[in-house]
A and B are shown apart, each in its own frame.
Chain A
Amino acid sequence: MKNLRLTILALFFCSSLLASQIEVCNSCQVKSIKQALSLAKDGDEILIKEGVYKESGIAVDKSVKIIGVGLPTVDGEHKETIFTVKANNFSIEGLRIINVGHSYTKDFAAILVSKSKNFTLQNNVLEKVFFGLLIEKSRYGIIKNNKLISDAEDQAGSGNGIHLWHSEDMQIENNELTGLRDGIYFEFVKNSMVRNNRSYENLRYGLHFMFSNNNEYNDNVFTNNGAGVAVMFSKFVKMTNNQFIQNWGSASYGLLLKEIYDAEIENNTFSKNTIGISVDGSTRINYKNNTFSRNGWAIKVVGACYENHFNQNNFLHNAIDLSYNSKINSNTFDSNYWSEYTGYDLDKNGIGDVPYRPVKLFSYIAHRTPESIVLLRSLFVDIINFSEKVSPVFTPDNLLDNSPLMQKIQ
């Protein structure tokens, strides 16, 4: 009996030693996050109750769970980085973090994670941030359900929402990003996944991807960003089910591909962008089942592109379906639906009997003389397009869709 009591006591003692809870609130014993962190041990939970905590420069170097209850506010008062984490197995969740410091020399962030593993950042609301979540040299992180809102005005004086640098095996899901420089920024990131995020009205890119191989992003929505989404200098990227909407402006596009090798682009929607996809040097890319609707240019090829395959895409009412910079073509177009197609299908097999030429003479001219776009849809342009269609002189004559579909792909 005595033994049993001792055992229970020992167990109780041990468990409290392993993971205790520290509560932080204005009327608690522990009144600040910093204080709580100094008291905490690895494995502890820090519960932050409702209230406003004016703190910044909070260093986290223990494996703790920082959990906001009732969305407490951490106000950095525009001084510096608010949380600086260098730890494994930690999480920060349920906080409202506001007023990160601005600087032209230092990358202040709401949460800076560096050289860490196995962490979760979730359900946080970040407002008036410079950089939002800045992750460097880390692995196995999950960033989800966060909301990042800022009021970026110029590129030099603003930072990115979720910024990853030299990291691996990250999952970025269900976040909402707006008013930043880039919504999501990847540089030297591998084996990561970006899913279900909404990135809109950011100053520069909704998503910016550099030197990052073997990544996937799907089911994201990018709307009305300054220049759309840029994917550059990367290999083996998979992009599926994303929506690129309303990226308008003189240098704007839904998606920019620059020096991309071996990518899969499937089931995406490009709608109402000045340029749907701007392709500047890309090789071995499969475009399948994408829908391009009401863009200025659906696809604008500005640099060398080899062995790209366009199959079963919908091209709907784009001012210009395809713009090409040279007469040489090693890309294939097959079984796409083109709303401009005027051919017939006598054998009723759903495939037009006359090949479709997606490159018009006018797109060639507009490429060389951008101002000429003011003549779009004029009778003169229709006439020269028609004559070029009959006998191609300026546009690649092997650039054809030999089996254009009669019905749009659902």
Chain B
Amino acid sequence: MIQISQLHKKFGKLVVLDGLNLDIDAGGIFAVLGPNGSGKTTVIKSILGMVIPNSGEIQIDGKSVLKKWDYRNQINYLPQIANFPANLSVKELIAMVKNLRPKESNETELIELFALTPFLDKKLGSLSGGTKQKVNIVLTFMFDSDIIILDEPTTGLDPIALIHLKGIIHQEKEKGKTILITTHIMSFVDEMADEVVFLLDGNIYFKGSIDDLKTKTKQTDLEQSIAHLISKQYV
């Protein structure tokens, strides 16, 4: 589904991605993990075309996506920080994003699910962080796309909303979608992810199922395994 080969990226003198290779097959939930600054967000943003790599190749379905834009119609993206134009209402924002993507959408269901109906006519500037994140989730999941990329999706959500979010992610997985998630909440990964991609020093340090990871690190708990991986960095 997604093939990344020999991806290099530097920000100034800082090397973030150093010849990264990654193949992600269609279908399933992939957790992209790694310590701070390991390049998780850079990889995701490279796939989305927001970060322009120094060299390397990214292909989706066998087609290069660098310097292209229309492939993004096949990707739903949930950004990390939700901040919207303060003077638009929720309704207008949803209408606007729909307007920008020539695609079917099912926002009504999602709006009801997250109990956003009373907020539809409110201005985005007046919403709380959690409500904004809910709006953000609605915007992400209202389209039917093959690839879904979630950057820290749980930020600011209340337990009920979190349950709904997990439900939606499962539903999408059932439909055969490819879902990439970055997060620091290990319980979430443990519960949701089929496969873990662990980044370290700008490269893939580990890729495989959670069980493989536990075996490899000889830990019984995911959190411990990850900590074990990260601690190697400091040796």
Contact present between A and B (CB < 8 A): no
Taking beta carbons and an 8 Å cutoff, which residues of A are in contact with B?
Answer: none
